[in-house]
Amino acid sequence: MSDDCIFCKIVNGTIPCSKVYEDDHVMAFDDIHPMAPVHVIVIPKRHIPTLLDVKAEGMNAAGALITAAQEVARIKGIDKRGFRAVINCNKEGGQVIFHLHMHVLGGQKLKDELA
């Protein structure tokens, strides 16, 4: 855990969230600034700054993100219609919070071009 990381504070309960899914390895919650009707953030409970920081020991965390995204899609009812799962990496890749996270977006036809 990182003391100054907002996502670590959500994991430890210091900052509240609208939780969608949780297991031993990950937590998923509604984004407070949604970009689609369904916009859920999935994070590993362990602090990993970026996708580039996932090493062999962190591969379980990466797999847990994918499994959680599948569960979130089912919970939110977008699994059959379709959804997008996005991981941004570093500033130019659009990463704002430096705690590995995946955006699960859906609930409408998503644009084909990159944002």
d(CA 90, CA 108) in angstroms, rounded, equals 27
**Which pair of structure tokens corresponds to residue 81?**
């219609």
7-20: pLDDT as tens digits: 999 999 999 999 99
Per-residue pLDDT at 55: 86
d(CA 98, CA 84) in angstroms, rounded, equals 21
Alpha helices in 1-115 (DSSP H): 6-11, 59-76
Domain 6-106 CATH superfamily: HIT-like (3.30.428.10)
Non-local CB neighbours of 81 within 8 Å, separated by 6+ positions:
106, 107
Q: What is the pTM of this model?
A: 0.92
Domain regions of the chain by residue span: 6-106
CA 51 to chain centre: 12
* Active centre residues (catalytic): 101
Per-residue pLDDT at 61: 85
Q: Which residues of the chain have pLDDT under 70?
A: 58, 113-115
Placement of tokens 């984004």 in the chain: 31
Per-residue pLDDT at 114: 52
